[in-house]
Structure 1
Amino acid sequence: MPTLIFDCDGVLADTEQFGHLPAFNKTFEEFGVPVQWTVEEYAQKVLIGGGKERMRSILTDELSQQLGLTSEEAKDEAILAWHKRKTAIYTELVNDGVMPARPGIFRVVQEAHLAGWGLAVASTSAEPAVRAVLTHAVGVGLAASFTIFAGDVVPAKKPAPDIYLLVLDDLGLEPGEAIVVEDSANGLRAAVAAGLRTVVTVSGFTRDEDFTGASLVVSSLGDPGDDDEPAEVLQNPHGIDVGAAVTLATFQQLLDLPSTPTRSEES
C-alpha cells in the first residue's frame, strides 16, 4: 500500500529553535558545561545529524580536559547522560505545547489514514521525543497508526540513506510505493539516495538550503482558509497542481509519475 514517511523535527512541528535549542542549552547549564549555543550557532549544528553527535561536536581537547573527560569512554558516558536529560527537557517542552504542529500535518495524516495509506516517521531524534511530537501534532489515535523509526536504529545518520532503507525493508515496501516529507537538505539526500520521492516543507533553519532532487518544495503543506497558512510553492520540477495546500492527491500524483528514481540511479 502507498505510504507516507515523515521526518520529525521541522516537519511535524517547528521544533529546532523552540525545542531542541533551549533543551540543549538547559542541559549544558545543568551539567556545568560552559556552552550556550546562539540561534546562529545552532543553525550550523543542525547540519549534524543526531543530538548526541551535535553534543560531541563541542568536545574540543581543551573543553574535554576542563570537564575531566580524559578518555573516549568518559566522553561516551557523559554524552549519554547529557542526551538522556536533554530528551527529558525537550519532551517537557513538547507536552507544554510550546511547539504547535506545522500547517497541514493533521489534515494530511488524517486524509492518508482514512484512505488506508501506511504512515511512518523516520528521524534521528530520540524515540521518546519523536513520539511526544507526533502525539502532540496529530493526537493519540492517529499517532497509534504510525510505525516509528527513530534514534540509533541505524549507525549512520542522515544524509546517509540507512534509516530510509530500513523503513523500506521493515515495511516491505518498494521505493515507488512510498513518499517522504522532509525539511532539510540532509534529509532530502538520505531519502533520494534510498530511491524515494521527496516533498520538502522548508523550516526556519533550512529555507536557503539546496533541495536539488526534491519532487516538490513548499513553504508548508498548507492549511486552506482565509485565516490559515497557504502552501507557497518554491520548486515544482514536475509541474504538479498544488493550489493552496498539498493534499493526498498531490502525493499520489508524485507517486504516479513515470520515472520513479531507483536506489542505483541515486547512489
Structure 2
Amino acid sequence: MASTTISLSLPSFSSSSSTHSCTQTKPSIFSHHQLTRKNLPSSLFTSTTFLYNRTATRTQQISTSFKVKCSAAASSSATLPSALLFDCDGVLVDTEKDGHRISFNDTFKEKELGVTWDVDLYGELLKIGGGKERMTAYFNKTGWPERAPKSEEERKEFIASLHKRKTELFMALIENRLLPLRPGVAKLIDQALGKGVKVAVCSTSNEKAVSAVVSCLLGPERAEKIKIFAGDVVPRKKPDPAIYTLAANTLGVDPSSCVVVEDSAIGLAAAKAAEMTCIVTKSGYTADEDFLNADAVFDCIGDPPEERFDLAFCGSVLQKQYVS
C-alpha cells in the first residue's frame, strides 16, 4: 500500500536542534516577581542576558547588564537539592525530531498505514504526553487507518502493538549511539551524584526506551545510581503531576526540595503542579513555548567553556535568592 502524508492545519514550530550546541538563545531567569539589579549579588553582573517582567500585562523583554554566574563561588551558601529530577526526551537527549518521530514513521510504513508525521505536525503532537496517547489523539482527529480494528478495545491493542514496535526501533537508534547526550547533562549528573543528591529520570516515554537512553548514553556506572520513573508507571501523564509526586514519594524527599529539569511547557506544568522548582532547558521543538512560570530558562545546561548552570545554581534557585 502506497504511503501518503497526512497533515493537520497546525501552526509551524521551529525544528532547529540544540543537540550539539548551546548557542541557540541567551539564558533567561524568571521569578514570581519583578527582578531588579538590586535584588541580585554583585558577582552576577558580568554580561548581557534578558529578564522578563511577570507583573506586566504582557511579557516584556528587558535588556539588562548581568549574566548568571554558574560557579560555586557565586552561590557558595546555596543549599543543595535533595533530588534532581530530569525529563528524558529533549532534556537528556534531543530525541524527538530525529529519534521518536522517525521511529513512529518507520512503524507506520512497516504496517502500511499510509501515515507520515512531518516535522511541524509532530511538534504540535508533542503537546500530548505519551506516544500511545499521541497516536490515539491523531487517529481520532484525522480518521483511523483502514487496517485498524473497529472496536475500542481492539484499537487499544492495535495502538499498543504500534508503540511496542516504535520503541524497538527507537532503542536501536540509542543503542547504536546515533543520538548524543545534550551538552552538560553528564556533568550535572556527576556533580549531583558526587554530592549525594538523588537523581531520577521522570518521563512519559516507554520505560525500556528511557532505560536505554540512561544505560547506553550515561553508562552503566551512572545508570545503577539513577532511578527511572517512566511510561505507564502512573495512570495520568504530564502535564499531570503524578510522575513527579511518585518520584518524590519513592525517593523519600519533600517536593519542595526537588529541582526538576524540563524542556517543555507540559513538563513545566507537571513540575509546578507537584510544587517543585523547575529549570527549563529549551530543546529543538520547545524554543517558542511559554515558560513564564519557570524558575529559570536556558538554551541548555552546557559544558565549560559554554556552561550555562551547575549544581550550585540549582541550589541557589531552590532558595529563591533571585526573587524580590
Question: TM range, normalised to the smaller chain?
Answer: 0.7 to 0.9
Q: Indicate conservation of the 8 Å contact 2:298/2:308, yes or no.
A: no
Higher RCO (CA 8 Å, separation ≥ 6 residues):
2
Q: 2:310 aligns with which of 226, 229, 247?
A: 247
TM (norm. structure 2) is 0.72
Q: Distance in 1 between matches of 2:226 and 2:290?
A: 29
Q: Distance in 1 between matches of 2:322 and 2:296?
A: 15
Q: Indicate conservation of the 8 Å contact 1:105/1:137, yes or no.
A: no
1:57 paired to 2:143: no
1:211 paired to 2:313: no
Q: Indicate conservation of the 8 Å contact 1:24/1:86, yes or no.
A: yes
Q: Indicate conservation of the 8 Å contact 1:12/1:137, yes or no.
A: no
The AA in structure 2 aligned to 1:69 is P
Q: Distance in 2 between matches of 1:69 and 1:131?
A: 31
With over 3 angstroms needed to count, the CA separation of the structure-2 counterparts of 1:162 and 1:61, relative to structure 1, is: closer
Deviates more, 1:154-163 or 1:170-179: 170-179
| Deviation per residue, 1:128-153 (Å, 9 max, x gap) | 10011112332110111111100001
Q: Distance in 2 between matches of 1:30 and 1:67?
A: 12
1:120 paired to 2:120: no
Deviation at 1:176, TM superposition (A): 2.1
Show the counterpart of 2:103: 23
Deviation at 1:62, TM superposition (A): 7.4
The AA in structure 1 aligned to 2:165 is R
Deviation at 1:61, TM superposition (A): 8.0
With over 3 angstroms needed to count, the CA separation of the structure-2 counterparts of 1:36 and 1:198, relative to structure 1, is: same
Deviation at 1:88, TM superposition (A): 0.4
| Deviation per residue, 1:134-192 (Å, 9 max, x gap) | 12332110111111100001111101111111111122211222100000000000000
Matches within 5 A, 1:1-267: 2-60=82-140, 63-64=143-144, 66-225=146-305, 230=306, 244-257=307-320
- Tell me the matched-pair count: 243
Deviation at 1:63, TM superposition (A): 3.9
With over 3 angstroms needed to count, the CA separation of the structure-2 counterparts of 1:256 and 1:218, relative to structure 1, is: same
With over 3 angstroms needed to count, the CA separation of the structure-2 counterparts of 1:139 and 1:61, relative to structure 1, is: closer
Question: Gaps (5+ residues) in structure 1?
Answer: 231-243, 261-267
The AA in structure 1 aligned to 2:271 is A
Q: Distance in 2 between matches of 1:215 and 1:61?
A: 35
| Deviation per residue, 1:62-104 (Å, 9 max, x gap) | 7436224110011011011101000000000111111100000
Larger radius of gyration, structure 1 or 2? Answer: 2
CA RMSD of aligned residues (A): 1.7
| Deviation per residue, 1:1-33 (Å, 9 max, x gap) | 711000000000000011100000000111111
Q: Distance in 2 between matches of 1:131 and 1:172?
A: 22
The structure whose residues are more often helix, as a share, is 1
Report % sequence identity: 44
SS in 1 for 2:138: coil
Q: Distance in 1 between matches of 2:168 and 2:145?
A: 27
Deviates more, 1:150-159 or 1:133-142: 133-142
With over 3 angstroms needed to count, the CA separation of the structure-2 counterparts of 1:52 and 1:65, relative to structure 1, is: closer
Q: Indicate conservation of the 8 Å contact 2:148/2:158, yes or no.
A: no
With over 3 angstroms needed to count, the CA separation of the structure-2 counterparts of 1:253 and 1:37, relative to structure 1, is: same
Q: Distance in 1 between matches of 2:225 and 2:121?
A: 36
SS in 2 for 1:152: helix
Show the counterpart of 1:263: none
Question: Gaps (5+ residues) in structure 2?
Answer: 1-80
SS in 2 for 1:160: coil
Deviation at 1:259, TM superposition (A): 10
Q: Distance in 2 between matches of 1:3 and 1:62?
A: 41
Q: Indicate conservation of the 8 Å contact 2:148/2:155, yes or no.
A: no
